[in-house]
Amino acid sequence: EIVVTQSPGTLSLSAGERATLSCRASQSVSSNFLAWYQQKPGQAPRLLIYGASSRATGIPDRFSGSGSGTDFTLTISRLEPEDFAVYYCQQYGSSPFTFGPGTKVDIK
Amino acid sequence: EVQLVESGGGLVQPGGSLRLSCAASGFTFSGSSMNWVRQAPGKGLEWVSYVSSGSAAKFFADSVKGRFTISRDNAKNSLYLQMNSLRAEDTAVYYCARGGGSGRSPFDYWGQGTLVTVSS
């Protein structure tokens, strides 16, 4: 099983700042099958990034993903008020399709 | 518009059973793999199970293997999760989520979830 970890657990920032979220897998993720999701309270998760760096339909270009192998990054270039949420990474290259524990981005 | 609507959640005693359903619309259901993902109260996401578009492949998390089964009815555009021998730690919101046509696909659409509470 590929174990996925995320850091930091919480990121306290102000609107307009840059957010950098990290995701690390215990083994290389095949073909960079790595996704990022955003979840707001009381809502279902929303797909942001797939294939480590491809934005999902309708996702603003302030969201970008990078990385390969075992180390991946989600960057939000300038935080908007609606971006304060919890972010999860997930590897979907091999079963079980494990999620990381999440990074909460909250308002400083 | 893609829609996934879960139902069947509720309160069940430990050791009991429950069957969740997910009604899909707005896309070619028979061409998509499907997943169940759960979220315990105040906790993170946990992938539970996967079924391929034609039901040939099914995968389960170790935490539910042998207790849960996944199935689908492509004629009815519906996904199911049969949950047996339920435990307190199965308490969670259960989401159905669409994968792609292949086994290695991100979960691009999610339902709003159905709450399962296992308690005496």
Q: How many CB atoms lie within 10 A of CB B100?
A: 16
How distant is the Cα of A33 from the closest Cα of chain B, in angstroms?
A: 7
Mean pLDDT within B34-63? 97
Cross-chain CB nearest to B106 (options A30, A92, A102): A92
Across the interface, of B95, B105, B111, the residue whose CB is closest to A92 is B105
CA distance A89 to A2: 12
User: Are A99 and B104 a contacting pair at CB < 8 A?
Assistant: no
| Residues A30-61 pLDDT 10s | 888 999 999 999 999 999 999 999 999 999 99
For an interface test with A, the pick among B32, B104, B105 (most A C-beta atoms closer than 10 Å) comes out as B104
Among B2, B12, B65, B64, CA closest to B32: B2
pLDDT of residue A3: 97
Looking at the DSSP bridge assignments, the partners of residue B22 are: B6, B79
- Give the model confidence (pLDDT) of B49-89 as tens digits: 999 999 999 999 999 999 999 999 999 999 999 999 999 99
Position B103 pLDDT exceeds 80: no
To the nearest whole percent, how much of chain A has pLDDT over 70?
100
Question: Tell me, what's the pLDDT at A19?
Answer: 98
What secondary structure does DSSP assign to B72-94, as a single string?
EETTTTEEEEEE-S--GGG-EEE
Count of helix runs (H) and strand runs (E) in chain A? 0, 10
**Chain A residues closer than 8 Å to B99 by CB:** 92
Among B46, B61, B104, whose Cβ lies nearest the Cβ of A92? Answer: B104
Q: Measured between alpha carbons, how far is B116 from B55 in angstroms, rounded to an integer?
A: 25
Phi, psi (degrees; rounded to nearest 5) at B8: 105, -5
Q: Cα–Cα distance between B113 and B70 in angstroms, integer?
A: 16
Beta-carbon separation of A56 and B108 below 8 A: yes
pLDDT of residue B76: 98
Identity of the amino acid at B40: A
Pick the residue of B43, B45, B114 with the most A CBs within 10 A to test the interface with A by mutation.
Answer: B45
Distances (CA, A) of A6 to A26, A90, A94, B44: 11, 10, 19, 12
pLDDT digits (tens, 9 = 90+) for B6-25: 999 999 999 999 999 999 99
